[in-house]
Amino acid sequence: MTAVSRHVERAVLFGADRPLRLRSGRTLTDVHVAYERFGPPDPSGERTVFVCHALTGDSHVTRHHSDDRPGWWEAMVGPHRPIDTRRFHVVCANVLGGCAGTTGPAPDPRWPARAPFPQIEVADMVTVHRELLRRLGVPLRLYAVVGGSLGGMQALEWLLRHPRDAGRFGLIATSARLSADNLAQNAVARAAILADPRFRGGRYPACDPPVTGLGIARMVGHLTYMSQESLEAKFGRDLSPGREGRSAPYTLPGPYAVERYLEHQAHKLTKRFDANSYLCLTAAMDRFDPFAEPHDDIAAADPDVCVLSFRSDRLFGLDHSRFIAERLLKAGVRCAHVHEESSRHGHDAFLKDVPAYLDAMARWLGTRARPAVPSSPHP
């Protein structure tokens, strides 16, 4: 499971007298939520930015101080950055269904019988986020809701269902409806987990999880986070150290550096993430189709929406962002679409120090440009 930050706070929401009613019709009570807060308190809510994280992210979006461990969005959140924590009160919570302190399907003593965890939708994640803000006493008139990838899906869902909750919604490198290609990639990743003998129908103990299947799922996913251009520039056909001039039988690990890189990414994820959460959250992404339902209230709320995409993103590229922008404009919503052309980082560009993109975000948020910072890995 994700190593939870020492700064994490916890809340228990939706007691037995007021359960969480999921979109599936099932209910949950005593929902544990792990969250972190950054920047100055904001009793009004008007200087609060809620950050929604991506598939394998958590609440630790940035450092709280100089000797804290890095967060997953250091380029975007922190002092002198577009979401400036000197100015904004920032809240980030681990999503429902996650495995970094929030209730989910990972092995957990709160689910002693290992009962099947209910189906979760992106809308359910947003319901929990809104309830957390109420518990924290933050009025739902936020400065902004911002997220990338699955985080952008949460921000879009929030915009369509509760457009008056924030003045701005930032939808970065995200989708409103997965393509057949996206669905196929998720299907292969889940098949790897399901085929692992350690999966045991999802009832594996915490001490013996299906790390092989989850690792392969991560390798599949990571290929979609990077662009072909960035893989070629970083690895090409380079051999791993010590493998130069040698070949390996197909039964042994291959000789190429790119193989070792993917194995490294797989190993890192299996140390901090849960296979059942991966299945739960990717399935929620598959089902996400928010424009399939009418949303008559959006234009009257007059939110300011920014959609950002990247030329090299082969997961949620320009077509995905155009689809969102066109649907919002058709609904009468102010929407600026910024398509960043310079980065070769692929989908991962939304996490990195890409000046044109970060400057566009800073202008949209009304903050000053910030100095370069180290890039974060994909959450």
Question: Of 53, 60, 89, 149, which is the active-site residue?
Answer: 149
Q: Is 132 helix (H, G, I), strand (E, B) or coil?
A: helix
Task: Please state the φ and ψ torsions of residue 166, each to the nearest 5 degrees.
Answer: -150, 155
Q: What is the largest CA-CA distance in the chain?
A: 68
**H-type alpha helices, 177-242:** 180-195, 211-225, 228-234
Q: Please give the Cα distance from 106 to 28 (Å, whole number).
A: 15
Which of 54, 185, 73 minimizes the C-alpha distance to 122? 54
Give me the residues paired with residue 271 across strands. Answer: none
Q: Please give the Cα distance from 324 to 330 (Å, whole number).
A: 10
Residue 155, CA distances (Å) to 105, 172, 174, 285 in order: 23, 9, 10, 13
Residue 286, CA distances (Å) to 100, 238, 280 in order: 22, 35, 10
Question: Of 124, 347, 376, 378, which is the active-site residue?
Answer: 347
| Burial class of residue 65 in the structure, from the number of CB atoms within 10 Å of its CB (0-12 exposed, 13-18 middle, 19+ buried) | exposed
Which of 185, 153, 154 minimizes the C-alpha distance to 314? 185
Full strand arrangement of the beta sheet holding 89-93? 9-13, 31-38, 89-93, 48-52, 142-148, 166-172, 304-310, 334-340
Q: How far apart are the first and last CA of the chain?
A: 13
Q: Is 313 a catalytic residue?
A: yes
Q: State how beta strands 48-52 and 89-93 pair.
A: parallel
Residue 229, CA distances (Å) to 209, 233, 338 in order: 34, 6, 21
Q: State how beta strands 31-38 and 48-52 pair.
A: unpaired
Question: Of 165, 313, 348, 353, which is the active-site residue?
Answer: 313
Q: Which two tokens stand for residue 246?
A: 């040698």
Q: Please list the active-site residues.
A: 149, 313, 347
